[in-house]
Amino acid sequence: MSMSYEDWQIWGRKPTQQERTLVDRATGNLPEMESTKQLVDLISSVYKPGQKILDVGCNVGHYLRGIRRIFPNANYVGVDAYDHYVTKAKELFLNDNYSTFEVKDIFNSLYPKQPFDIVYCCNVLFHLPDFRKPIKNILESTKDVCFIRMLLADYTTIVKLVFSDEYYDDGSPKDFKFMNTWNKDYFVKYVEQLGWNVELISDEFNSTTLQKEFETVKIEKSDKGTHIIAGKQVVDNIVCNYTWVKITKI
């Protein structure tokens, strides 16, 4: 049996489970994620007044809160494939006059005729069965610079993080999400062939903060949050080689 489009989209089937702690991040009831802090620093290094920012795979808009800490009036658009998250984001940022949220699927064209100055896509590509079409759609909507946070290493590993003991007859899990790591050289070469410059940037994080959150906040078994083993970020038994990618026009 071949995998259908819906099989891996746990966000569509169980949206509230996949919000995890993100609503509390967006409202300030929990601190910013470590990745939010680095994203804000990366955007700060390139942002110019008046530029437009696109958040691809925005979920409930939790990264926007961090952006507003530095850029309260930056024009921001967040897109997500699932109406549940877009509706929730609109509620959470109802009084933010410089933000807009729309339902758009990363496997379809986004804004090819009106590209954004700065685009970012964080913690999305490794949850997809393939990155190639999504990255094309992201870059055709990018005018100047794009920041991607994904899993990159020396080898490609296609991993399914399974949430229940329900399986099809061929052994394929019914309830899972991808946690794919891509060969960094293959990813870079693919993007360069599309006509872009690529720079890999190390993921920065406070390991003490992450471990404390794992022990006190992400305590549900189904949450499978990130914890620290030997200085590495780990989700259950999966080592996560988070990497930032800065993509700019040649």
Write down all domains in the chain, each with its CATH number in brackets.
10-206+242-249 (3.40.50.150)
Pairing of strands 142-153, 242-249: antiparallel
224 confidence band (pLDDT: 50, 70, 90): low
Strand duo 242-249 + 196-202: pairing: antiparallel
Which position has the higher pLDDT, 215 or 207?
207
With pLDDT > 70 as the criterion, what percentage of the chain qualifies?
94
Per-residue pLDDT tens digits for 116-143:
999 999 999 999 999 999 999 999 999 9
Query: What number is the average pLDDT over the span 212-233?
Result: 76
pLDDT, position 1 = 45
pLDDT in tens, 85-98: 999 999 999 999 99
Contacts of 158 (CB under 8 A, 6+ apart): 178, 180
Instruction: Give the tens place of pLDDT for each residue, 153-197.
Output: 999 999 999 988 999 999 989 889 999 999 999 999 999 999 999
Helix, strand, coil content of the chain in percent (nearest 5)? 30, 30, 40
